[in-house]
């Protein structure tokens, strides 16, 4: 089987980033996929991008996933430009502010997934230490996974990998991931599980809103500390809603699981004790 | 201020990995630190290591953090050899199986943090899909953060960065991170919070034990599916214990926070509404 | 002691309404206050207002509290006009849409409290039955009580009653009740309790947003049912946050209680087993 | 369609009162019903009743719902007398002490619903402030709604409205609402949900018992404060049981919903995503 | 040191029984105490008592604890008679029905502790199997332990053992253990913890009431199954309240612990990390 | 019907002990079974055994259940010897250390059930008082009941009683009760309920491990207090997992119940409102 080389470029961090390169090959046994990532850590300045991006190109990726917060900031903007120029198929993963440059990204020939529910962290020195940062990310990761946003993400990647493997023309995804994706999905069998998942996602958007105010608008610590603390409490409440949604599906043994086969095809199952079946939706989805 | 370039090499995944390069600079504002990471995704074969490790060297790091599961496997072993040869100060972050090569790593001139509570995932195709994988990692991240293991980790990194910045001789850490680290720490003010944190960590070690059996010993799906499912239930229970521990400290407003200053020095605080103070423990710790 | 006659006019329902006439005299033992309410039930059409408002005037109230959803709708608008004409001191209690007529209400000589966290209910026949309606109201009531919004409300009423009793000039309140009121209040002793209370209130505003979409924008039941169900799940999550906030204060026996004395003066206490003290803040607040 | 005018008279407060006038028309769209309420606030003295009751008569109601605590107290007794004299069909809604005058109410020609699970509040000045009062009511409202007591109530009202609309003879309900109503109802599909609902209701009766002792029997604050605090803790525990009961039904998507149609007929449904069906049980029930 | 021989006679089961003989020597290291128990299992017929009681006398106990449900039933009555005749100091531990023979027990020269909160189990064959029985007992044990009832019990035993050891005259306890014992105790530092503990105990009394109806009054399974199921749900809710009470004390590190010293004296402590101090309250209490 | 006399000998305590003599006759109505127990309380020294064991023999039991912690300790070893000599069919119930003498017990002609999940208690005087002891036991009892271990136990006893009653040859059970018994059982209908039950049991084994270290290996109170406190937190977490497992089965009304008939045969049922059916598995199991 021919192999596709997936290059992941991370600059700065949103909660989708830490596991993005693991989602397409969760069991580390796909024969059709090679993954390489390069990251600039939490910083996202232009110098960091310049220094790091070439290393990704050195890997000669067939497909690039580029993920950063605020893709309009100078560093990420520089990176987008570079990917656009190199003409390697690239999908930009980013958060809310990305909406402002949707048209521009299309012109740049880039695909994008703008994840409205991947919120700004409460980045205030009185509040955020590495432990709080990690807990915040852990909560958002759990919510994005549980609500189905991560499934949406790796299915989009799967489609592109499938097309490349089969020499088909690529259709880069361009979407703003919002609550409607959860609503219109059939992943949840129980409608209350779905409602809770939607609720969890809506709360993440609320967190983005509050942290924006807490980090950039309020200047007085008496005002911004309660705000960012409040935002992180909402994340925790959202994580509980997401857990509840998942538990509901477990209670009737209808939890959907979609592991990747060794050949990269997505399998699907619900009853825990049964084997996953190849439901070649990947091919279908790639049409 | 002179800058230290930190190179992070990830091959395969344990739960400490996804955020490892973010822990030392959680607010992305340290003037004394540059971070670059290279990763092979979820795979950890020798070819992947060979292909990726040079890119890290291209960054000319002053200090390397090398993280992988089972450091005795061929890929990670190859990587350790390479770091050992290059004589760049390197700390190996890995899970339980690393205990078997402690002496060898010392001979290789490598430091190490063997995190017993960073357990093997329930890697069975009937159970693990990308969503389950992400949730597992999110839970373990939360536990390792909350119990203080992540604080231990970034403090060890901080000490090395401090020594490099100040031209001091490096003393690479060599430790097996176990429940005793939580017990002997003063991070928790409330002894029951500490007991719950210790309990959470002990549960992670139990998960490692069960998943080992579920992934490598049992061959019949009727036997291994319940085992890995059981292990992931324990992770969830452990995460709840960890959350409880943190809530206790919040209830008396005594939660410890230790953000990094822009100059890289660790600050410390407990009362939420107060500012963090520079407690130059970094220097002290580096002695 | 002279007595003040408080007239409450309710037309339609928001969650502040059902208990509004009980808040100022929770023990039913105030000597200085008489309360009479007239309500049109859940409907708020012009005919209902016309029919019912005269009965309130028949009571010859010294002060009127007029509460309804969307004060710009024809019925409530008609009522405001009537109160404005009669020149009885009147405070309008209403929800978010009231912001659009703030200036107009001022011109009408009316006071107002616009409670952004008193959200529209998920009024869809596939979802809302009397039981769901009651549960929604019960949750919002709990949240508004716990977060301190109800305390803000009855303190404003107390001030007016005090002024009338003492022949002072009335200064009608005109405020938009938002999260900042919780943030700037000193009711919570623990900053994390306050953060959770703020979070609870923010969630109510989110509910208002979603139910607006679910009730008025989406036309397809496949779309609006999940939305209103999701909104009510958020209310439930918000109620849990509010309960947590209150429990925190109980855990350190610092929960604030402010009962009314028989003479109408507010008393205050925290330690459960101690008596409330007269803290004549009412007079003070009325200045 | 002919319209029925429903007059609601509230004097003092029990938890069924605040939403009583909203239950029959939860969506505010019934064409066959007009609702008007008059209330004396939290007080229930004879003067208040005298002053307020005439305003209700001014509305010329076809049917009166009269709700108060302890219907044997002078104020409520006066009101019952007035309703009895006027010969307007009247149903008395009240709490436990009402059992003592069941026979008398029958002689007065009044219907009654004596709700044993609508307990006395912990009315002690060291404990009860407006916030505690509101939380208590919110919890009891939730429990009475969730356990099906509110459904019982509005179905009884529906039957009377139906009979009036159709010129049938009225059969006023006379019942003591106890746990048996929940036990014998078919509203819960899951027997454990029903058991939890029954448990919740039994706890409310226990609360009534304890608050009676705390409010009227114990004279020493060292004795009565813990009692009323204990009673309110039980209410909170009861609310959690009620919530659990409802969640169980949601977990299998079998939660019963019975919205009113615009023509006043009760509709019924269980699967969340389906439409309610007209199950003309109202007519049937009215036989 | 002289040793006291404690004989425990169990016939039938209430939740205080299974651990009664363990409470006085929880660490199995008291030098001053020997314990022997004889039990007739779950049955409590006269034959069983006759057969078993002699074995207890064979142990020649200095003090007898006799525990059974309903001490007025023939078997337990027979046993009381036997203990009375033998003139060995005996304390009867039993549940609510014991109140009817308080005077008689006094005349028999027996002490007694009638524990109102040790409720009848839901003994219906459609509901109670050994697993449900064990869970019920586990919950009641937890509640009686947490609320302080078990501490009351072993302190009463301690006093008697102390008196015997020191040749003092015995004063047999005669008390009906009710919520007032929790209210008047100083074991809980936090008044809300105490309120929750009282609530938990009150719920147990409610369980006794409901199970009485479910086991002996209702004859139709459609009626009694929901009742006993409801009672066991209340026990579970009560156990949660008790756990909350204990957690509150842990949150401020003020949980009282009173281990027995090797010499039998009660020690006392609150801060977890400190040693217990000998607070010779035993001697004092025995006065 | 012929009756079997079951003698239960308890020396020291493990959590299976307190209810062991109640499990075979939970409703106290079996016609075929007589139970007598003798216990030495919490102590298990040789003298206690010598003194007490004869009283059990005096009952002339047909079958003996002998339960103690660490069966290799001198007291329990003495007791085993005595039972072996007397040639009364005897089953030893004990905890983990029993594994060391499995062969020896077989040679002694004794049956055994070694329950790995019946853990050592945190027996440190700074931590364990009678209340903590009781709570620990209550939690372990709940877990062993809920996970099905108690069902395994009474079914083994049932088989022996059946064989004795019917004059069949006895086949004494010899098993080490581990998580595999839960995994291979069909008691749980929902696979996630089973996974949670397995998780709960695994945690108990972890508790045994930690308490061993806390009680016998660590000598410094700074070290052992946190360990035993941590172990008891794990027990609490385990109990919650067990409760969740049971709730899952309740949510779909599939909870298994297996009461004993009056004739000793096991009945079985799942739907709560239905009667248990005689499923003469006892006979079958005894083959």
Residue E279: pLDDT band with limits 50, 70, 90: confident
Interface check A126 vs C, CB under 8 A? no
Q: Which one of B192, B244, B255 makes the best mutation probe of the E interface by having the most chain E beta carbons within 10 Å?
A: B192
Compute the count of residue pairs across chains C and D with CB atoms less than 8 Å apart: 256
- C44 CB-side CA count, 13 A: 25
Q: Which residues of B touch E189 (CB under 8 A)?
A: none
- Asked if E27 lies within 8 A of F127 by C-beta distance, the reply is no
Quick one: average pLDDT of A200-226? Answer: 98
Burial of A45 (0-12, 13-18, 19+ CB in 10 A): middle
User: pLDDT for B16-50, tens place per residue?
Assistant: 999 999 999 999 999 999 999 999 999 999 999 99
What count of other Cβ atoms lies within 10 Å of the Cβ of residue E107?
10
The pLDDT value recorded for residue E287 is 45
Residue D135 C-alpha, separation from nearest chain A C-alpha, in angstroms? 21
**Which of the residue ranges C273-287, E141-155, E195-209 would you say has the lowest mean pLDDT?**
C273-287
User: Nearest-CA residue of chain D relative to E225?
Assistant: D195
Interface check E278 vs F, CB under 8 A? no
> Which helix (H) or strand (E) covers residue D10, if one does?
strand D4-10
User: pLDDT for B182-198, tens place per residue?
Assistant: 999 999 999 999 999 99
- Asked if F231 lies within 8 A of B199 by C-beta distance, the reply is yes
Quick one: average pLDDT of E51-70? Answer: 97
Spatial contact of F157 and F252, defined as CB atoms under 8 Å apart: no
> Which helix (H) or strand (E) covers residue B92, if one does?
strand B90-94
- Asked if B251 lies within 8 A of C191 by C-beta distance, the reply is no
The pLDDT value recorded for residue B244 is 98
Quick one: average pLDDT of D21-30? Answer: 98
User: pLDDT for D209-221, tens place per residue?
Assistant: 999 999 999 999 9
% helix, strand, coil for chain F, step of 5? 50, 15, 35
The pLDDT value recorded for residue E2 is 83
The reported pTM is 0.97
Residue B63 C-alpha, separation from nearest chain F C-alpha, in angstroms? 35
3-class secondary-structure state, position E129: coil
Residue D279: pLDDT band with limits 50, 70, 90: confident
Compute the count of residue pairs across chains D and E with CB atoms less than 8 Å apart: 80
The pLDDT value recorded for residue B2 is 84
Residue D192 C-alpha, separation from nearest chain A C-alpha, in angstroms? 15
- Asked if B191 lies within 8 A of E251 by C-beta distance, the reply is no
The pLDDT value recorded for residue E286 is 47
3-class secondary-structure state, position D120: coil
- Asked if E192 lies within 8 A of C252 by C-beta distance, the reply is no
Quick one: average pLDDT of E83-103? Answer: 97
ipTM given for this complex? 0.97
Residue D130 C-alpha, separation from nearest chain E C-alpha, in angstroms? 19
Find how far residue E231's CA is from the centre of its chain: 20
- Asked if C139 lies within 8 A of D142 by C-beta distance, the reply is yes
The pLDDT value recorded for residue D2 is 84
Residue B138 C-alpha, separation from nearest chain F C-alpha, in angstroms? 19
The rounded percent of chain B whose pLDDT value lies above 90 is: 96
Residues in chain F predicted with pLDDT less than 70, given as ranges, are 1, 280-287
Residue among F179, F161, F180, F158 nearest F62 (CA): F161
User: pLDDT for C122-146, tens place per residue?
Assistant: 999 999 999 999 999 999 999 999 9
The pLDDT value recorded for residue C279 is 75
The rounded percent of chain C whose pLDDT value lies above 90 is: 96
Quick one: average pLDDT of A248-252? Answer: 98
Quick one: average pLDDT of E222-236? Answer: 98
- Asked if C51 lies within 8 A of D41 by C-beta distance, the reply is no
Spatial contact of B42 and A28, defined as CB atoms under 8 Å apart: yes
Residue E284: pLDDT band with limits 50, 70, 90: low
| Rounded alpha-carbon distances, angstroms, from residue A26 to A223, B136, C137, F157 | 42, 11, 44, 47
Quick one: average pLDDT of E72-83? Answer: 98
User: pLDDT for A127-167, tens place per residue?
Assistant: 999 999 999 999 999 999 999 999 999 999 999 999 999 99
Which B residues, 23 through 82, put their C-beta within 8 Å of a C-beta on chain C? none
| Rounded alpha-carbon distances, angstroms, from residue A202 to A199, C54, C212, C219 | 5, 44, 14, 20
User: pLDDT for B122-160, tens place per residue?
Assistant: 999 999 999 999 999 999 999 999 999 999 999 999 999
In whole angstroms, give the CA distance from residue F77 to residue F54.
15
Are there at least 3 beta-carbon pairs closer than 8 Å between B and D?
no
Quick one: average pLDDT of C178-182? Answer: 97
Residue E281: pLDDT band with limits 50, 70, 90: low
Are there at least 3 beta-carbon pairs closer than 8 Å between D and C?
yes
In whole angstroms, give the CA distance from residue A165 to residue A33.
10
Residue among F226, F231, F225 nearest F125 (CA): F225
Q: C203 pLDDT exceeds 60? A: yes
Are there at least 3 beta-carbon pairs closer than 8 Å between C and F?
no
User: pLDDT for B50-99, tens place per residue?
Assistant: 999 999 999 999 999 999 999 999 999 999 999 999 999 999 999 999 99
User: Nearest-CA residue of chain F relative to E43?
Assistant: F28
Residue D286: pLDDT band with limits 50, 70, 90: very low
- C24 CB-side CA count, 13 A: 33
In whole angstroms, give the CA distance from residue A30 to residue A154.
14
DSSP states along A66-82: EE-S-TTSHHHHHHHHH
The radius of gyration of chain B from alpha carbons, rounded to an integer in Å, stands at 19
Find chains touching chain B: ≥3 CB pairs under 8 Å.
Answer: A, C, E, F
DSSP states along B46-91: HHHHHHHHHHHHHT--SEEEEE-S-TTSHHHHHHHHHHHHHT--EE
Q: Which residues of C touch E190 (CB under 8 A)?
A: 250-253
Quick one: average pLDDT of A196-221? Answer: 98
Q: Which residues of E touch C250 (CB under 8 A)?
A: 190, 192, 248
The rounded percent of chain A whose pLDDT value lies above 90 is: 96
The pLDDT value recorded for residue B86 is 95
């Amino acid at each position: 089987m021919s192999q596709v080389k997936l290059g992941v470029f991370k600059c700065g961090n949103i909660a989708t980033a830490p596991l993005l390169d693991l989602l397409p090959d969760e069991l580390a046994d796909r024969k059709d996929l090679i993954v390489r990532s390069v990251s600039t850590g939490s910083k996202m300045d232009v110098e960091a991008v310049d220094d790091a991006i070439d290393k990704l190109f050195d890997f000669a990726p067939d497909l690039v996933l580029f993920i950063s917060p605020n893709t309009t900031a100078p560093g990420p903007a520089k990176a987008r430009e570079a990917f656009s120029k190199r003409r390697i198929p690239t999908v930009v993963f980013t958060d809310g502010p990305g909406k402002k440059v949707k048209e521009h990204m299309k012109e740049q020939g880039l695909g994008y997934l703008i994840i409205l529910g991947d919120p700004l962290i409460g980045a205030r020195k009185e509040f955020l230490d590495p432990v709080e940062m990690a807990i915040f990310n852990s909560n958002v990761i759990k919510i994005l996974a549980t609500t189905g946003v991560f499934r949406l993400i790796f299915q989009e990647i799967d489609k592109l990998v499938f097309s490349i493997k089969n020499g088909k023309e690529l259709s880069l995804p361009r979407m703003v991931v919002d609550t409607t994706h959860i609503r219109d999905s059939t992943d949840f069998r129980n409608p209350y599980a779905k409602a809770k998942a939607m609720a969890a996602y809506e709360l993440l958007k609320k967190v983005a809103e509050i942290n924006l105010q807490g980090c950039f608008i309020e200047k007085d610590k008496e005002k911004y500390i309660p705000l960012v603390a409040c935002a992180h409490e909402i994340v925790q409440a959202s994580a509980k809603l997401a857990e509840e949604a998942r538990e509901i599906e477990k209670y009737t043994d209808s939890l959907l699981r979609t592991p990747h086969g060794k050949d990269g095809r997505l399998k699907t199952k619900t009853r825990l004790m049964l084997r996953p079946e190849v439901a070649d939706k990947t091919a279908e989805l790639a049409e």
